[in-house]
Amino acid sequence: MDSPSGRNEPRRHEAITPSQEQSTVASTSLPSTSFPATMKHSTANSSSTDPVYDEAATSDLSRNTSRHLVLSNFNDIFKCTICFGHLDDPHLCPQCSKLYCFECIMEWLASGSNQCCPNCKTALELEKLVKVRWFEDVRKLQNDLRALGGPSDGHSGDMDDNDTKSELCPQHRRLVNFYCSTCKQCVCEVCATEIIDGHHQNHSFKTLHVTYKQHMEQLESELEKVEDYRDRLSLLHNKIERNIELIGTVKSVKQKELEAIIVSVMKNLDRQEEEKLAQLSVHQYALMNQMENIDLKLQAMRCEMSLCSKSQLIQMKTGIVDACNAIRSEPIKDFKEVRVPANLKIEIPDFFETGVFVVQNFSTFDDNKVVYSSDFSDCQGRTWRIMAWCVISEDHFGIYLELVSGRPCWMECTFQLIHLNPEKTIRKTIRQYFDRIPQKGWGLRDFVTLKTILDDGYVRDNDSLELLYNIRPCKPAAMQPPLY
């Protein structure tokens, strides 16, 4: 049967035996002695030996022991002796003044076989029960005592029934307020102070709140370690994510390079076609003029022959034959002389070597700090590396290209300092002769000022700079502009 308060707890309707009555009476009696909060028991034969006190627990003894004892006896006195739980709408027997939950005693009396008080066995009727109107004042006092204990009691003023039951010693039904360091379990003051026939003889104890605080600190430390571990995982995840983005950036650059190469190749094909067609057009135009002149001469001779008489035609024969021989006397060029080969060349320029050099821990750089990228190769097998030079005293950040191995050559180099806003990305290009001996003007000493880097947000959240580079061999003269 559900109670008015909404709880659904099992009720005990069996008659209480004399042994149970003695247990109940014993559990409600107040202890007459207070013991140290933390001590090591002596043996039964040497019970007069002074206990060994834990310093931290002893300092809290006078403040906590009395309150714990009072709260423990509150729990024992103000409980229903039918369900052995906390009182709900308490009523008392007018004969023995024993307290019961109203629902429990109502069910007890309604069962038919029990028409007496479970404690004193006096005949009892439901109408004779006395409602305990002062119980709320007692409960408020109990909560106030708990509140005075604060965190050290491990309880709060609004602690529910389940929390209270979980803090009771299963053997003595008293609040646990000590911790046995030997057994590693929480005990009440009775367990801790049973000198004779006790299960915790010669054991070390600490007050519960001290142990709780120590365990909580250890757990917090472990949780912080897990959080740190998780943060490192998150950092690695973010680096991988940025790595993916940089690969996408490089792919985009290479796509633009490829598109530019295709456009350049198509233009070159168009140019070759135009040159060849121009040569053939000259010969074609000359032949067209020659054929038009012949057509005019033939037309004139045919007209003259049609208008003259027979005798005149005979007289004109010699002249007409001479004119035809003159026309045919001009040699016709052999096609091999005017033929233009029908072949076109695809001229693909050298590809750029493209990558990203990430300058780590930028904020830790000292004056004249130099860092190098990993080595990489160009399309012709030369090995290169990028050097970044931070000159704090002159407020500039320089970028240089170094030839590690291979034959000296002219190189076209484009460097970009990447910004989250593409419009702010700084881009500079140089074309320079490089050998393995650094020379004046071989890099970009004043690529950007340090003030610009710091003020305009070029430093990433992980304290790094991202430099995208494009390099390729080029000719020393008439060098082409970048294709992208």
Question: 440 and 397 in one domain?
Answer: yes
Q: Which of 180, 203, 226 is the last residue of a domain?
A: 203
Query: Is 381 within the bounds of a domain?
Result: yes
Cβ-proximal residues to 260 (8 Å cutoff; 6+ apart), any chain: 483, 484
Question: 358 and 406 in one domain?
Answer: yes
Question: 439 and 361 in one domain?
Answer: yes
Question: 192 and 95 in one domain?
Answer: no
For residue 361, what are the CA distances in angstroms to 107, 214, 358, 427? 77, 38, 10, 22
What is d(CA 89, CA 314) in angstroms, rounded to the nearest whole number?
Answer: 156
Neighbours of 79 (CB within 10 A): 21
Per the CB < 8 A criterion, the answer to whether 102 and 126 are in contact is no
Please spell the DSSP secondary structure of 238-285, one letter per residue: HHHHHHHHHHHHHHHHHHHHHHHHHHHHHHHHHHHHHHHHHHHHHHHH
| Counted domains in the chain | 3
Query: Is 111 within the bounds of a domain?
Result: yes
Query: Is 482 within the bounds of a domain?
Result: no
User: CA torsion sign, 237 to 238 to 243 to 248?
Assistant: positive
Calculate the CA dihedral of residues 261, 266, 270, 272 and round it to 10 degrees. 60
Left if phi > 0, otherwise alpha if psi is -120 to 50, otherwise beta: which for 111? alpha
> Which structure tokens are listed for 206?
């600490």
Question: What's the alpha-carbon Rg for the chain, to the nearest Å?
Answer: 53
Calculate the CA dihedral of residues 250, 253, 255, 257 and round it to 10 degrees. -130
Q: Which of 160, 182, 203 is the last residue of a domain?
A: 203
pLDDT confidence of residue 449: 92
Q: How many CA atoms lie within 13 A of 421 on its CB side?
A: 5
| Structural domain boundaries enclosing 396 | 353-473
CATH number, domain containing residue 98: 3.30.40.10
Q: Which of 154, 179, 203 is the last residue of a domain?
A: 203
pLDDT confidence of residue 31: 36
Neighbours of 183 (CB within 10 A): 14
Contacts of residues 51-58 at CB distance under 8 Å and 24 or more positions apart, as own/partner, are: 52/204, 54/204, 54/205, 54/206, 56/206, 56/207, 56/210, 57/205, 57/206, 57/207, 57/210
What φ, ψ does residue 214 adopt, rounded to 5°?
-65, -45
What φ, ψ does residue 199 adopt, rounded to 5°?
-85, -5
CATH number, domain containing residue 411: 2.60.210.10
pLDDT confidence of residue 146: 58
The predicted model scores a pTM of: 0.49
Full pLDDT tens readout for the chain, 484 residues: 344 333 434 333 343 333 333 333 333 333 333 333 333 333 333 333 334 334 444 444 444 555 555 555 666 667 787 887 778 888 888 888 888 888 888 888 887 667 888 888 888 888 888 888 887 777 777 666 655 554 444 444 344 444 444 588 888 888 888 888 888 888 888 887 775 566 777 788 888 888 889 899 999 999 999 999 999 999 999 989 989 998 998 998 889 888 988 998 999 999 999 999 999 999 999 999 999 999 999 999 999 899 988 898 899 899 999 999 999 998 988 888 889 998 998 888 788 889 999 999 998 998 889 999 999 988 888 899 999 999 888 898 999 888 888 888 888 889 999 998 989 999 998 888 887 766 555 678 889 999 999 999 999 988 999 999 998 888 885 444 444 4
CA angle 35, 40, 46 (to 5 degrees): 90
Question: 454 and 384 in one domain?
Answer: yes
Within the chain, what is the greatest distance between any pair of CA atoms? 177
Calculate the CA dihedral of residues 226, 230, 236, 237 and round it to 10 degrees. 160
Question: 399 and 456 in one domain?
Answer: yes
Question: 195 and 102 in one domain?
Answer: no
Question: 463 and 376 in one domain?
Answer: yes
